[in-house]
A and B are shown apart, each in its own frame.
Chain A
Amino acid sequence: MREVAIIGVGHTKFGRLNDKSLLDLLCEASLEAIEDSNTSNTDFDSVYVASMLAETLNHMTGVASALVDRIGLLPAAADHIKNGPASGGSAIKNAFYAIASGACELVLVSGAEKMTHITLPGGVTSAVATMTHHNAERIHGASLPSFAGLLTRSYMEKYNVPKEWITSIAVKNHRNGLNNPYAHFQKEITLKKAMESPIIADPLQLYDICPISDGAAAIVMCDANIAKKYCDSPILITGVGQATDTHIIYEREDVTVLNALRICSKQAYDMAKKTPNDIDVFEAHDAFTILEAIQSEDIGFFKKGEGAKAAHEGLTEIGGKIPINPSGGLKARGHPLGATGVAQVIELVWQLRGEAGKRQVADADTGITCNFGGFGNNIVSILVERM
């Protein structure tokens, strides 16, 4: 396989962006990534667009075809990749193999979601809940927040963990987000305020849950052999992995274990010939605080049951043993579904280039992501290194 490099990135502000459509956001991030990669006068072979709910929330199909037309990339191949909230990671994985196989040389990945215009109460939550198993879960009233509530209680009971340790993850991510100019929230919160926030799915509280956001993120990838032609500091993708788990969460032997993450991160580590000890920074998928805790365990940084404790003790802060979500994570950066997996990789690119400003992790050479589809039933990990 050929080596694959990231040579440019583009990231819109995440948040409530009233005057921009889904396509506007995709175009903005894509053009920025093209400019950043000095490929403005170059033909692309392929474009992968990630968006989970374009049909449902934006009444739009053919998003990838529309994007290449609008930004002048005809006749590049264009595909719309859908893997729930892991659509971004899946799009990057597909682009990686297109280049690694030798089929493509220059590829654009662009992920976006436009969600905040949906005013119907519970409208977005219901659309997202269509990922769950109809008969086994959905008809009973189960939504993703209710799964996170069930999981939080199981984890607290099994490992004897106080709720404060789990919620401290939200406090840390808001503190990191303060220094991310693209984040949905640039505001610190206190643990006291988070612990007093309304209970949504007991014991899960409002401040344990990421927001609904608009936004887009794009990267330009190419054959690493030609990367230096475009860019002084290319970042290599040296490991990718993807794995699935049961659709029904309670069919898993232990609901606190993310088996798909164990498998896909091992694939990424093995491909890159790395171990968790080699990783300097981790972008987790903290749609709910509990997910960052258990992801930090199943991706190999902490023993089972010790992820929330590690966060509480400061081991996952910037400057800690393994900094997690210096970007602010989904909690503070926001979660425009299709954009998230791409934004995670962009944060790692900025960290590895040394361009992360006040949230810079010192001497970051290697990073990994967890992009989480369904409720852990389809997970993608991307491992990146400095060239």
Chain B
Amino acid sequence: MNSKERIEWKKCNNCGFLQYPTHLRCLKCKSKDFILVETSSVCNLLSYTILNAPPAEFRNQKSLALGIVEFENGIRALGQISSKEDLEIGMKLKPIYKKICENLDGSEVYTHIFEPI
């Protein structure tokens, strides 16, 4: 994966709290001193849903599977799951990077989705 494709979170250098990378100050201690942490390749499914009324950007799909996952180092992510069948809380998944939809203006959206291992 190139740098765009990595799922990275920030770890606070002051208190160690792990958080999504858009935070500019630590959610716990307000420090601005972070290091970037990458995920491992395997994650656990924490929860999932099959959305039967997808947003307009997903106009070519009747439904989509969405899951919240947690990696071994504590990083969490939300994303689509490649399969809608045999999903189970606790199952192992791996992130892959791909085009997931086209915005209404035609621009393409690339991001991670999760694939059962």
Contact = CB atoms under 8 A, between A and B. Distances in A.
A150 B68 contact: yes
A85 interface: no
B47 A153 contact: yes
Contacts of A150: 47-49, 66-68
B14 to A, nearest CB: 18
Nearest to A121: B56
B11 interface: no
B58 A141 contact: yes
Contacts of A198: 52
Given A121-B56, A129-B55, A153-B47, A141 B80 contact: yes
Contact of A140 (B19, B27, B53, B111): B111
Contacts of A139: 100, 109, 111
B89 A141 contact: no
A380 B54 CA distance: 30
B20 A251 contact: yes
A40 interface: no
Contacts of B89: 153, 157
A154 B78 CA distance: 14
A56 B29 CA distance: 37
Contact of A141 (B20, B54, B77): B54
A133 B76 CA distance: 14
Interface of A: 121-122, 125-126, 129, 133, 135-137, 139-143, 145-146, 149-154, 157, 198-204, 246, 248, 250-251, 255
22 contacts: A129-B55, A140-B78, A140-B79, A140-B80, A141-B51, A141-B66, A141-B100, A142-B78, A143-B53, A146-B66, A149-B50, A150-B47, A150-B67, A150-B68, A157-B89, A199-B50, A200-B53, A201-B50, A201-B52, A201-B53, A202-B51, A203-B49
